[in-house]
Structure 1
Amino acid sequence: MNTILAPSFRVAGQADVNAIVALVQSAYRGDASRRGWTTEADLLDGQRTEAVLVAELLADANSAVLLALADGELLACCHVERHGESAYFGMFAVQPPRQGRGLGRLLLAEAERHARDAWRCRAMHMKVIDVRTELMAWYERRGYRRTGEYSPFPYGDERFGLPRRDDLRFELMVKELTA
């Protein structure tokens, strides 16, 4: 597969729910996720998201799931949620065999543009499992900074997966959005 230079982007609709769930699951859980570098398969088992949750995100006026497509094929997605003057970024998934080719960088930039231009947000926030140092370094190269502000992993809440270790926690990362 070649580098994807110019995917199209759009906001997801309810008809996209099942494709989004399948993409997110393939990027983070199980053996299929091991084809990419963003896998959480060694950290967590279980579902990464579910159709009901994605449908709720799509129904929220302060929320958008952005899709990256080429020739009608869903290649990547992310969730952006408005919180006043900042936005929260999450549920970021790229098809495992397409990872490492620049698509994630393009979608992240589109999410930042959406938050800045559509919602007038001045910052993007995200929470990353802090043992995922390679992923955190990737975000740092894109202008995010580690804050040293941690929150506990929600052990016992299967909506976030079934932990395979007992030392998981999230670190808040932040990027100022400029025009």
Structure 2
Amino acid sequence: MENAAAGLTFRDATDADVDVLVALIESAYRGDASRVGWTTEADILDGHRTDPEAVLEVIKTPDGKLLVVEQEGRVVACCQLEHRGAHAYFGMFAVSPALQGAGVGKAVIAEAERRVREDWAAAEMHMTVISVRNDLIAWYERRGYRRTGRMTPFPYGEERFGIPLRDDLEFELLVKPLV
């Protein structure tokens, strides 16, 4: 698995990708299946991570795209990119749990950064991460993202985002200069 990032292809998602993308995102973050990888949120959130309507909304966003990553014809990762003026937003990032820790995520984020620099001349990449996800934040920091301390509340009571298993969840903005 040391060369799991080899042979990756990248393309923009279409409506036909919705079901496979929902399944990928759910497998990476929720339920027992997500525990195979290290990005699981199963200990902090129950319920669903996304749904077909939310994925389709990202695909249809005029100033954005959902990047699909395939290997040998199988969808193995994805990420949302949205042009927001001088910066781009990075979200809905998922890597198949079986491939986590093998370099796929690094390759995806590098390609995402390249695309927003070249396509949109974005000077920074922004993302929000649940602040208690210390391992995930450390992974992003190793890739040049910095914690800003700027927090936004978790949408408690909106099951569309999951069912919190703790009461201290909030999102922190992480930023990386791209120039």
Q: Smaller-chain TM-score range? A: over 0.9
Q: Deviations over 1:53-73 (max 9, x none)?
A: 111111122111111111110
TM-score by length of 1: 0.97
Q: Deviations over 1:108-146 (max 9, x none)?
A: 011111111111111100011111111000000000000
Q: Percent identity?
A: 56
**2:76 maps to what in 1?**
75
Q: Equivalences for 1:1-179 in 2 at 5 Å?
A: 1-4=1-4, 5-178=6-179
Q: Deviations over 1:123-175 (max 9, x none)?
A: 10001111111100000000000001111111011111000000001110000
Q: Structure 1 stretches of 5 or more lacking a match?
A: none
SS across alignment from 1:15: helix
Equivalents in 1 of 2:54, 2:16: separation in Å? 14
Equivalents in 1 of 2:83, 2:95: separation in Å? 22
Equivalents in 2 of 1:161, 1:154: separation in Å? 9
Number of corresponding residues = 178
Q: CA deviation at 1:2?
A: 5.0
AA partner of residue 144 (structure 2): G
Q: CA deviation at 1:89?
A: 0.6
Equivalents in 2 of 1:73, 1:144: separation in Å? 29
Q: CA deviation at 1:3?
A: 2.5
User: Which runs of structure 1 show a deviation greater than 6 angstroms over 4 or more consecutive aligned residues?
Assistant: none
Q: Structure 2 stretches of 5 or more lacking a match?
A: none
Equivalents in 2 of 1:50, 1:63: separation in Å? 18
Equivalents in 1 of 2:75, 2:36: separation in Å? 17
SS across alignment from 2:81: strand
SS across alignment from 1:34: helix
AA partner of residue 18 (structure 1): D
TM-score by length of 2: 0.97
Report if the CA contact (8 A) 2:2-2:103 is conserved.
no
Equivalents in 2 of 1:170, 1:53: separation in Å? 19
> Which segment is superposed worse, 51-60 or 141-150?
51-60
AA partner of residue 136 (structure 2): L
Q: CA RMSD in A?
A: 0.9
